[in-house]
C-alpha cells in the first residue's frame, strides 16, 4: 500500500507538471497579453513598453519557470483588470465554490447510493422503477432549466428559499440540488449495476451460509465491493461539478470561482484565467489520486496489480 | 445408538422458467446420522447443488422447496423463516462450496472472515474467535496460521483458500457439513489432499457429512452411504460397499464402469461412458428417467413408479428389473 501510494503520487506530480506547462503555453499562444493590457487605442511604443515591463519579451520557457515558481508559492500575479493580487481574488471565492461542489457531490451520493442499493435488492420492483424514472428525468433535464424551475417554484412562488447570494446555508440549498441532481443518475445506475453483480457473487452466498444477518451481508460484504467503481466515478463527477458550477454560480449569483472565471474570460484577464485553470487542474489530479487510494483501500487487490 | 442428524423425505424443488415448470429435484429421500458420510454422486445438472442449497435454505428466490419431511436434529425446517434458518446456518449446519477462488470476499482478510463466522453465533470475544480461527487453520493444515489471518484471499492459492473455507465451515462446530464438490476447481494433486482432510476432520469432530462429488474413487474410500442421483431422483442408494459391489441400477453400473481399476482395466482400453443426454427437466416425466439411455430399456420402464426395490442392509434401487435378472445380466460380459 505504501509503495502504491508513492507510485501514484509520483504519477500525479508528473501530470501536474505537464498540466501547468500546458496551461501556461495555451494562454500565451491564444492571445498577446501585452495587447490586451495596453487596450485598443495604444500605440506600438506603449505596447513594447508593456511587453518589457511584464517580461513578455523573454523566452517562453523562462517566463514559464518564473510563473510556475511563483505559482508554487501562491503568487499568481496581479489581475490586469482589477489590479488586485490574483491569489487574494481566488482565496475570497474558492470557499463558495468548494462548499457548493462538496455539498453537491454529497447530495448526489446520499441520494444515489441508497437508491441504487434498494433498486438492486429488488430489481424491477416499484422502487426500482421510481428510481429509474428519476434517473431518466435527471439525465434529460438541462441543469440550467432545472435550476430556473427551482427558482420559480421554491424561490418565487412559495418563497421557501433565497434565490441569490451566498450569505447563509439556505442560499446553497437550490444550487446544491441543481448541481448534484445532475450527477445522481449515473452514480445511481452504477451503484445498482455493481450491487446486482455483487449480490449474485459466491462470497455473498458464503456470507449467507455463515448465517450473517441480511443487513450485515448487504453493508459489510456487498456494498463495500459494489462501491468501488462508484468512488472513481464520483471523483470524475466532482471535477465536472466544479467546472459546471460556472453555470450554477451565474444563475444563483454565487460569487465563487465559476463566476470569477466567467468574468475573467470576458475581460481576457490572463493571470486570473491561468490561476483558475491551474488550480482546478491540480485539484482534479489530487481528486483522482485520492479516489485511487480510496479504491486501493477498499479493494486490497488493486495495490498489487 | 446412532442418532439421526438429518432426515429428508420426498424433497422437491421447482423453478418456474420460460419453458414451464423446471423440476430439478423430483422427490428424493435420504438421511444422515451423526458421524456418518453420505456421498451423493451423479452427472452434472442432476440437482445435487440445488439439493444442498435447499437444506441450507439458500435456494435462489425463484425456487420453491417442498418436502414431506425435512428434519434437522429433530427440528422441522420446513416452516422456519429466514431468521431462524440463519441461526442454524454456519452454527450447526455448514456448507463448503465448489468455487474456492470466488467464495471468499476479496475486500476482507482471512482472519476477519473466519472470526465473523464465530462471532455471529457466539457472544464471545474477538480474542476467542481469533484463537478458534488459528486452531482450525492449523487443523486444516495451514502453516503459520496466526500470520495468515492478516492475509487477503488473493494472496492464497486455490488449495489454501479451500482449506480456509473448510476452517470457516468448522468455526462453530457444526453437526452437519455439506461439501458440494469441494475439489472440482482444484488441481488433481490437491483434490485428494483436501478430500482426505475433510474425511479426517469429519471423523475427528464426529460430524455428519454430505459429500457431493464426481470422483467415485473418493466415494469408495470415504463414504458410509452412497446415493446415486439421476435427473432429480435418487436411482440407487445404500451402504457404500454394497452399492460398489452390487450396483443394481443400470445408471450406477454405467458410472462404475467409468472408473479405471488398476490391474483390471488394461492400458489403452476404452473406458465405459454412458451415451445419450439427460432428459429435459421441465414438466412431468412419466416412468423411468433413464430409459432413453438405458441398455436394458423395455416397455415396462414407462410405467415405473417411485417405489424402490429394497434389498437387505438398506440397499435400494428404482428399476423395473428384478434382482435375479440384474444379477444374471451383470455376470455376463458388459456391452462396450
Ligand atoms: N437459479 C436457477 N434457475 C433455473 N434453473 C436452475 C437454477 N439453478 C439450477 N438450475 C438448473 O437445475 C438443474 C440442477 O442444477 P444443480 O446445480 O443442482 O446441478 P448439479 O447436480 O449440482 O450439477 P453440477 O455437477 O454441474 O454442479 C440444472 O439443470 C440447472 O440448469
Ligand atoms: Mg453443483
- Asked if residue A286 is part of any domain, the answer here is no
Same domain, A188 and A205: yes
Number of compact structural domains in chain A: 2
DSSP state of B89: B
Among candidate residues B171, B191, B222, the one where a domain is terminated: B171
Which residues between 187 and 246 in chain A have a beta carbon less than 8 angstroms from any beta carbon of chain B?
A: 201-203, 205-214, 220-221, 224-225
Same domain for A140 and A19?
no
Which candidate from B86, B105, B121 shows the least CB-CB separation from A203?
B105
Residue A196 is predicted with a pLDDT of 94
Q: Could you tell me the CATH number of the domain that includes residue A138?
A: 1.10.3720.10
Q: Is B117 on the interface with A (CB under 8 A)?
A: yes
Test site for ligand 1: of B45, B228, B282, most ligand atoms within 8 A of the Cβ: B45
Provide the domain count of chain B: 2
Does residue A150 lie in a domain region?
Answer: yes
Note whether B233 and B149 are same-domain residues: no
| Contact between A300 and B106 using a beta-carbon 8 Å cutoff | yes
Nearest C-alpha in B relative to A300: B107
Residue A167 DSSP label = S
pLDDT tens digits for range B227-245: 999 999 999 999 999 999 9
The pLDDT, as a whole number, for residue B212 is 94
> Could you tell me if B225 and B150 lie in one domain?
no
Do A108 and A69 share a domain, yes or no?
A: no
Q: Does residue A138 sit in the same domain as residue A219?
A: yes
Question: What pLDDT, on a 0 to 100 scale, did the predictor assign at position B291?
Answer: 87
Distance, in Å, from the CA atom of A193 to the CA atom of A148, rounded to the nearest integer, reads 32
Of A29, A63, A91, the residue that ends a domain is: A91
The kind and range of the H/E element at B30 are strand B20-33
Q: pLDDT tens for residues B89-130?
A: 999 999 999 888 899 999 999 999 999 999 999 987 899 999
pLDDT in tens, A36-55: 777 777 788 888 888 787 77
Please, which contacts does B260-263 make with residues 24 or more away whose CB atoms are closer than 8 Å? none
Same-domain status, B75 and B108: no
Where does a domain end: A25, A56, A91? A91
Q: Which domain holds residue A103?
A: 94-255
pLDDT at A247: 84
Same domain, A33 and A133: no
> Rounded mean pLDDT of A175-195?
90
Structural domain harbouring B236? 4-92+172-330
- Give the mean pLDDT of A21-48: 76
Which residues in chain B come in under a pLDDT of 50? 1, 269, 336
Q: Which of A91, A123, A143 is the last residue of a domain?
A: A91
Note whether A128 and A105 are same-domain residues. Answer: yes
- The pLDDT score that the predictor gives to residue A124 is 84
B64 and B43 co-located in one domain? yes
Residue A273 lies in a domain: no
Same-domain status, B132 and B233: no
The DSSP line for B245-303 is HS--SHHHHHHHHTS--TTTSPTTPPPP---S-PPP-BS---S-TTGGG-TT--GGGGG
**Does any domain span residue A298?**
no
Predicted model pTM: 0.83
Tens of pLDDT, residue by residue over A71-120, are 888 888 888 888 889 889 988 888 888 888 999 999 999 999 999 999 99
Do residues A117 and A134 share a domain?
yes
Helices (H), chain A: 2-30, 33-38, 44-54, 60-72, 86-121, 126-140, 143-150, 170-199, 202-209, 214-216, 224-252, 257-266, 270-298
Residues in contact with A208: Cβ distance below 8 Å, sequence separation at least 6, in sequence order: A217, B58, B86, B89
Amino acid at each position: 500500500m505504501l509503495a502504491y501510494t508513492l507510485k501514484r503520487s509520483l504519477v500525479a506530480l508528473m501530470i501536474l507538471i505537464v498540466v501547468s506547462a500546458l496551461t501556461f503555453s495555451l494562454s500565451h499562444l491564444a492571445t498577446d497579453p501585452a495587447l490586451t493590457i495596453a487596450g485598443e487605442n495604444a500605440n506600438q511604443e506603449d505596447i513594447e513598453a508593456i511587453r518589457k515591463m511584464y517580461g513578455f519579451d523573454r523566452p517562453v520557457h523562462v517566463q514559464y519557470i518564473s510563473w510556475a515558481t511563483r505559482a508554487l508559492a501562491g503568487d499568481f500575479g496581479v489581475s490586469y483588470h482589477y489590479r488586485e493580487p490574483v491569489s487574494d481574488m481566488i482565496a475570497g471565492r474558492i470557499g463558495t465554490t468548494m462548499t457548493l461542489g462538496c455539498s453537491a457531490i454529497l447530495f448526489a451520493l446520499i441520494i444515489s447510493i441508497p437508491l441504487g442499493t434498494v433498486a438492486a435488492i429488488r430489481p424491477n420492483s416499484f422502487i426500482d422503477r421510481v428510481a429509474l424514472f428519476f434517473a431518466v428525468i435527471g439525465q434529460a433535464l438541462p441543469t440550467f432549466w432545472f435550476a430556473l424551475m427551482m427558482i420559480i417554484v421554491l424561490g418565487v412562488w412559495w418563497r421557501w428559499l433565497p434565490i441569490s447570494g451566498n450569505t447563509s446555508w439556505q442560499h446553497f440549498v437550490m444550487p446544491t440540488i441543481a448541481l448534484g441532481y445532475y450527477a445522481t443518475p449515473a452514480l445511481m445506475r452504477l451503484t445498482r449495476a455493481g450491487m446486482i453483480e455483487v449480490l449474485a457473487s459466491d462470497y455473498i452466498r458464503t456470507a449467507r451460509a455463515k448465517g450473517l444477518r441480511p443487513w450485515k451481508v448487504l453493508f459489510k460484504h456487498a456494498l463495500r465491493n459494489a462501491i468501488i467503481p462508484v468512488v472513481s466515478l464520483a471523483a470524475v463527477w466532482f471535477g465536472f461539478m466544479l467546472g459546471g458550477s460556472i453555470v450554477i454560480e451565474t444563475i444563483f449569483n454565487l460569487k465563487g470561482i465559476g463566476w470569477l472565471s466567467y468574468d475573467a474570460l470576458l475581460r481576457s484577464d490572463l493571470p486570473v484565467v491561468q490561476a483558475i485553470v491551474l488550480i482546478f487542474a491540480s485539484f482534479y489530479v489530487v481528486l483522482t489520486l485520492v479516489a485511487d487510494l480510496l479504491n486501493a483501500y477498499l479493494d486490497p487487490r488493486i495495490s498489487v496489480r | 445408538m446412532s442418532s439421526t442428524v438429518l432426515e429428508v423425505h420426498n424433497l422437491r424443488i421447482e423453478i418456474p422458467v420460460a419453458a414451464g415448470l423446471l423440476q430439478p429435484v423430483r422427490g428424493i429421500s435420504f438421511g444422515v446420522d451423526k458421524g456418518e458420510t453420505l456421498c451423493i454422486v451423479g452427472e452434472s445438472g442432476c440437482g445435487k447443488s440445488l439439493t444442498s442449497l435447499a437444506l441450507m435454505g439458500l435456494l435462489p428466490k425463484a425456487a420453491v422447496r417442498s418436502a414431506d419431511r425435512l428434519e434437522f436434529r429433530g427440528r422441522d425446517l420446513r416452516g422456519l423463516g429466514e431468521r431462524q434458518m440463519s441461526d442454524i446456518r454456519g452454527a450447526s449446519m455448514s456448507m463448503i462450496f465448489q468455487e474456492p477462488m470466488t467464495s471468499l470476499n476479496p475486500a476482507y482478510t482471512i482472519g476477519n472472515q473466519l472470526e465473523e463466522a464465530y462471532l455471529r453465533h457466539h457472544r464471545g470475544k474477538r480474542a476467542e474467535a481469533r484463537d478458534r480461527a488459528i486452531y482450525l487453520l492449523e487443523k486444516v493444515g495451514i502453516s503459520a496460521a496466526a500470520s495468515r489471518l492478516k492475509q487477503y484471499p488473493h494472496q492464497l492459492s486455490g488449495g489454501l483458500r479451500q482449506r480456509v473455507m473448510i476452517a470457516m465451515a468448522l468455526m462453530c462446530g457444526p453437526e452437519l457439513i455439506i461439501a458440494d464438490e469441494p475439489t472440482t476447481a482444484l488441481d488433481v494433486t490437491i483434490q485428494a489432499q483436501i478430500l482426505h482432510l475433510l474425511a479426517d476432520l469429519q471423523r475427528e469432530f464426529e460430524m455428519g457429512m454430505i459429500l457431493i462429488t464426481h470422483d467415485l474413487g473418493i466415494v469408495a474410500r470415504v463414504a458410509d452411504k452412497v446415493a446415486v442421483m439421476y435427473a432429480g431422483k435418487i436411482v440407487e442408494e445404500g451402504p457404500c460397499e454394497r452399492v460398489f459391489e452390487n450396483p443394481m441400477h443400470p445408471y450406477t453400473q454405467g458410472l462404475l464402469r467409468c472408473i479405471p481399476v488398476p490391474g483390471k482395466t488394461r492400458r489403452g482400453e476404452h473406458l465405459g461412458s454412458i451415451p445419450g443426454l439427460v432428459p429435459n427437466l421441465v414438466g412431468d416425466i412419466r416412468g423411468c428417467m433413464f430409459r432413453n439411455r438405458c441398455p436394458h430399456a423395455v416397455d415396462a420402464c414407462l410405467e415405473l413408479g417411485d417405489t424402490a426395490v429394497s434389498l437387505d442392509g438398506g440397499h435400494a434401487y428404482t428399476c423395473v428389473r428384478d434382482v435375479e435378472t440384474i444379477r444374471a445380466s451383470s455376470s455376463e460380459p458388459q456391452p462396450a
